[in-house]
Amino acid sequence: MIKVIEISEIAPNVHECTVEARDIATRVKPGQFIIIIPDEYCERTPITVSDWDPAAGTITFIFLSIGSSTERLTELKPGDEIYSLTGPLGKSFDMEKFGTVALVGGCYGIGGIYPAARALKELGNKVVCYSEARSNFLLYWDKKLEETSDEVKYATTDASKGYKGHSHDQLKTDLESGIRYDRVIAVGCTFMMYRISQVTRPYKLKTIVSMNPIMIDGTGMCGACRIEVDGTTKFACVDGPHFDGHLVDWNIILARRKAYLEEEIVSLERKNYGEGHSH
Amino acid sequence: MAKVSPTKIPMREQPAEERVRNYEEVPFGYSPKEAILEGERCLMCKKPKCIAGCPVEIDIPGFIQFIVDNDFRGGIRRIKEKNILPAVCGRVCPQEEQCEKVCILGVKKEPVAIGRLERFLADWERDQGESELPKKPKQTGKKIVVVGAGPAGITAAADLVRLGHKVDMFEALHEPGGVLVYGIPEFRLPKSIVFREINFLERLGVKIYKDHVIGMIRSIAELRQEYDAIFLGTGAGLPWFLQVPGENLNGVYSANEYLTRANLMKAYLFPKYKTPIVRGKCVVTVGGGNVAMDCARTALRLGAEKSIILYRRSRQEMPARDEEIHHAEEEGVIFKLLSTPAAFHGDERNWLKEVEAIRMKLGEPDDSGRRRPVPIPDANYRMPIDVAVIAIGNSPNPLIPNTTPEIEVGKWGNIQTDLETGKTSIPGVFAGGDVATGAATVILAMGAGKIAARSIHEYVMDTIP
C-alpha cells in the first residue's frame, strides 16, 4: 500500500502531495506520470510526477481539484493509504544537451517542468523557465525553479508578477526580440500548449508538448487516449505523453477533453449535496 | 439405462425482457437433479474424444461419472486436477468448438452439455463454502514470476505453484483477472466468481502484486536476475480502429474502452462509481465477435433504446458463439448484416450524430476461408446514432516489446513463441495468451498458460542448479 507523507494546498486549488513509493522514486524520469485511484469508487486519474527523492523513497505530484476523484484526493491526510497508485507510466522527455531550452509551465505544469529543468541543467543545457498563472498568488515553486534554472520568467494576466499576459505572448515577444532557443517544452493546459506550438511554428523551433487526454487503464489497452499526430493515431499512455506540438491535431484534442463535462457535474453535485458515499 | 434424450437438458435463465434491465447473470445453472440427468446422457466412451478437444485436457467422462454417482466433491476434484478456473470456463469457453464438437453423442444427437456440467460442479463447490486446497507439494526452491493476472497467467501460476515452485505475480491494473474483470461483463461472468478463483490462487501460495506495470517499474532483465523463469501473459493491447473519417468524435469508443469503463470501473453504477460512460439512446457496435455481443448487450443495460450491430459479412461468418448471438437477439439487439461504417459524422461540438454505412455483398473466400465482403457502389445509407463502439479486434499489449528490445516480436507486435513450449527468444522467458497469439479466447489463453507451465517446470528443474 502507498502511504501519504504530506499533502497541502500550496496555492488556491493547487495541491502538492508526497507519497512513499520507493520503487517508483528510484525509477521515475522527467515527464513520466502515475495513475491514482483515491478510493474504490473513483476514476483512474493520470497525474504527472513533479519531484522525487530516491533516498527517502518518496515521489511528489501536483494536482488541481477539478472533478470528484481529484476532490477526493484532496481529502487524504498524512498517514492515509491510497487505494491504488501505479507508475511510472509513459515515456520520459528526450533528455540530452540541446543548448538553450525554454520550459513553459502553467497550472499543474509548473510542477511538471521542474524535473525536466533539473535534468536538462545537469546535462549542461542553459535552462529558461516560463511560469504562468492568472495572478501571482496562483504561482508556486518559484524558488525551486529559480534554484534549478538559469532564468525564470513569470507571466500573469493581471500583471501582478512579471510579464502582463500569457506565457505564449511572452515567448512570442522574446522570439521576436531575437532570443533564440534550441528546444521548447510546454506542460500545462491543452490550450496553452496549443498556443505555444502556434508561436514557435514559424521559427521551426522544435516544441514538445505533454499531452493529457482522458485515460482509463494507462497501460496501452483501452485506446481512450488516442490522438492524431502527423496523420497517424498515437496513444498518449504508451507512445507519449510527449509529442511534437507542430504535428499534433489540436482540434480533436480540444474537443475530446470536454467529453464528460456533464457527467462530472452530476458526480460532483451528488457528492456535495448529500447522496455521497461515506468514508 | 433409459433412452438417451436427443437434446441437452435446458438451462433455466432470466427472461430477456427482465434481464436487459439488470446486470445479473443471465443463465441460472443446473440443479443437482438436472445435472445428473444431463450427466446420464454421456456415453462414457472407452476412447473419448472430448478430452483431446479440451485445451486443458480435463478428464471429462471422469468428472461426469462422479456427477452421475452423485459425488459432486469427487467431480470437482477431478476437474481441478487440470483446470483451476472451472466456474469461469464453464461459462465462457466455446465448448461447441472444442469438447462438445467432438462428443460422440453429438454425431446423431445434441452433444453432452459439458460446459454446463462443469459450471454446475464449480457452483456447487462455491455453495459449500471455502473450496478445499490440494495437499501442499514438496517445495523445489525455484522462483518463478508471472506477468499479467489474466487467464493465461492465472493458469500458469496455478500449475507452477502446485508443482512446488514459489510463484510471484505482477498485475498492471488495480484488480487481478485481466479480461475476466475488465472485458467480460458481469451479466456473463459475475466478478464475484473471478475474485473467488483468484482468492483460491492466493490460498495456494501465489503472491499477487497489483498496480505493477512490468517494463516500467521493473524490466524483464531485472526480473531475470531475481527469478529462475518468467511467464509473460500481458494480454491484449491497443484496439484496432476502422480508419474511417470521424472515428475520433466524442461518442466513438473502442470496445476495450467501453467495456473497461462499464466493467472494471463500474460505470454502470455511475454516479456511485465515478467513472462516466456515454449512455446513448441509439448505440451502434461494429463487429461480429463475442466482444461485439458483449458491447451491444451492455448498451441495452445502460439504457439504450436501440442497440444495433453492424457486421460486414453475413450471420454465417460471424465469429461470435451461437449462444452469445442468440442471447443478443433475444434481448432485442438489432443485426444489420453486410454493413460497415464508411464514416461517422458529428455536430459542431464534435459529438457523434450519424453513422454513414456501406452495404456489402459476399465475394470469393479470402485467406480465412470466409467469403470476402465487397462494397456495393452507391448504396450508402445514414443512421442517426449517439454512441458507436468499434469491436473489430486489438493488437497484443505493446509494453513488454517496447521496453524489452532483446525480445523477438512478430509482424503484429506479438511476442514470438514456440507454440509447443511457450518459449520466447530469451532463455528462461516464456509467453502465452493474447500477447503471443493476438486476440483469442479465455480457454486458449489458459491452454497456452498450461503448456508454458509444463515447459517452465522442465526448464527450471533441468537447467537451473
Q: Average pLDDT of B271-277?
A: 89
**Interchain CB distance below 8 Å, A256 and B248:** yes
Among A94, A95, A129, smallest CA distance to A111 is for A129
Q: Scanning every residue of chain A, which has its alpha carbon at the shortest distance from the alpha carbon of B238? A: A221
Q: Average pLDDT of B224-238?
A: 94
On the question of pLDDT at B152 being above 90, the answer is yes
**Interchain CB distance below 8 Å, B256 and A23:** no
Q: Scanning every residue of chain B, which has its alpha carbon at the shortest distance from the alpha carbon of A43? A: B275
B39-68 pLDDT, tens digit each = 999 999 999 999 999 888 999 999 999 999
Residue B276: list chain A partners with CB under 8 A: 260, 263-264, 267
β pairing state of B371-375 and A226-229 = unpaired
What pLDDT shows up at residue A278? 34
B218 vs B1: which has the higher pLDDT? B218
Mutate to test the interface with B, among A70, A222, A268, A279 (most CBs of B within 10 A): A222
Mean pLDDT across chain B, nearest whole number? 92
β pairing state of A45-53 and A58-64 = antiparallel
B211: Cβ contacts below 8 Å, ≥ 6 apart:
A84, A85, A86, B171, B172, B173, B174
Cα–Cα separations (whole angstroms), residue B160 to B144, B205, B221, B381, B449: 8, 10, 21, 55, 10
The rounded percent of chain B whose pLDDT value lies above 70 is 100
Place B236 in a pLDDT band, splitting at 50, 70 and 90: confident
What pLDDT shows up at residue B97? 85
Cα–Cα separations (whole angstroms), residue B437 to B16, B173, B184, B236, B448: 35, 21, 19, 10, 10
Place B440 in a pLDDT band, splitting at 50, 70 and 90: confident
In whole angstroms, give the CA distance from residue A15 to residue B18. Answer: 47
Any idea what the Cα angle at residue B142 is, between residues B137 and B146, rounded to 5°?
A: 95
Burial of A157 (0-12, 13-18, 19+ CB in 10 A): middle
Q: Which domains does chain B have, with CATH numbers?
A: 16-127 (1.10.1060.10), 143-237+395-463 (3.50.50.60), 241-392 (3.50.50.60)
Q: Is the dihedral of CA A214, A116, A145, A194 positive or negative?
A: negative
B396-423 pLDDT, tens digit each = 888 899 899 999 999 888 999 998 899 9
Q: What phi and psi values does residue B177 have, to the nearest 5 degrees?
A: 130, -20
Q: Which residues of B make CB contacts under 8 Å with A?
A: 172-174, 182, 210-213, 216-218, 235-239, 241, 248-251, 253-254, 256-257, 260-261, 264-265, 270-276, 278, 349-350, 394, 397-399, 402
**Interchain CB distance below 8 Å, A223 and B254:** yes
Among A110, A114, A111, A116, smallest CA distance to A95 is for A116
A170: Cβ contacts below 8 Å, ≥ 6 apart:
A130, A132, A153, A155, A162, A163
Any idea what the Cα angle at residue B80 is, between residues B157 and B14, rounded to 5°?
A: 105
What pLDDT shows up at residue A266? 64
Residue A219: list chain B partners with CB under 8 A: 172-173, 213, 397, 399
Place B2 in a pLDDT band, splitting at 50, 70 and 90: low
What pLDDT shows up at residue B406? 92
Of A42, A217, A267, the CB nearest to B260: A217
Cα–Cα separations (whole angstroms), residue B86 to A187, B39, B62, B78, B155: 49, 17, 15, 11, 11
Q: Which domains does chain A have, with CATH numbers?
A: 2-89 (2.40.30.10), 100-256 (3.40.50.80)
Residue A85: list chain B partners with CB under 8 A: 211
Q: Scanning every residue of chain A, which has its alpha carbon at the shortest distance from the alpha carbon of B394? A: A221
- Please identify every stretch of chain A with a pLDDT value under 50, giving residue numbers as ranges: 272-279
